[in-house]
Amino acid sequence: MATTPVSRGLHVAIIMDGNGRWAQSRGLPRTAGHRAGAEAVRRVVEAAPRLGIATLTLYAFSADNWQRPQAEVQTLLRLLYEYLMAETSRCVAHGVGISVIGRRDRLPRALREAIEAAEISTAGGTALHLRLAVDYSAREALFRAACRFYKATELSHESFARVLGEVNHDGARDVDLLVRTGGEQRLSDFLLWESAYAELYFTPRTWPEFDAAALEAAVREYHARERRFGRIQDAAAS
């Protein structure tokens, strides 16, 4: 895993979709797909720094995922706990800082403690900022931030973004590239404020099939696009 610090690198966010379909297409239980998805996380985290990615936000567990069958929910939360327990020391060794965004009050106590321990242990990481969205809803985060913002003395986009960061337990700059695997083409309540000008990249490849080459292809596509942020080129304006 690369350990070279990346200054002002990309912020890439990924909706990791397709675990269940990957498993079912192979005659396996959905839980097998989630375990294969955890391996994909390891591959992508390892590849990210060398591709110029400074911040990587992964949609690990949405607020809507509580509606899934209890056994599947327990599997997802257990896999997250196992990931943190197994990977924290590796992240420390390779300069990866971990933070978790989203609600924490509904998570099992052991998972909350693992999150806090991982965040503290990896706080010095400079090669990559790995953000895991857990029990996360962008709409809820925006609502909770708006409820706090009325007390703010500075009314600006920047001050609202700071309040939103407080609600999420972690702030990060805007998303440059948002990737969704699994063939669906929607944001699913993920980083709505931060993705206002993100480049969107959808792939039919399911998350367990996603690897370093697939991430590199998404980043290459991002660099090939022209980003104007509402402006027009000087030549076109003349």
Catalytic annotation, pick one of 19, 64, 65, 168:
65
Q: What does the CA dihedral 133, 136, 140, 143 come to, rounded to 10 degrees?
A: -20
65 is catalytic: yes
Closest to 99 in 3D by CA, of 66, 124, 74, 79? 124
Beta-strand relationship, 177-180 and 128-136: unpaired
Q: Has 17 been annotated as catalytic?
A: yes
CA distances from 204 to 146, 188, 210 (A): 36, 16, 10
CA distance linking residue 96 with residue 1, whole number of Å: 10
> How many CA atoms are closer than 13 Å to the CA of 162, on its beta-carbon side?
8
Q: Which of 17, 135, 170, 176 is catalytic?
A: 17
| Catalytic residue positions, numbered | 17, 65
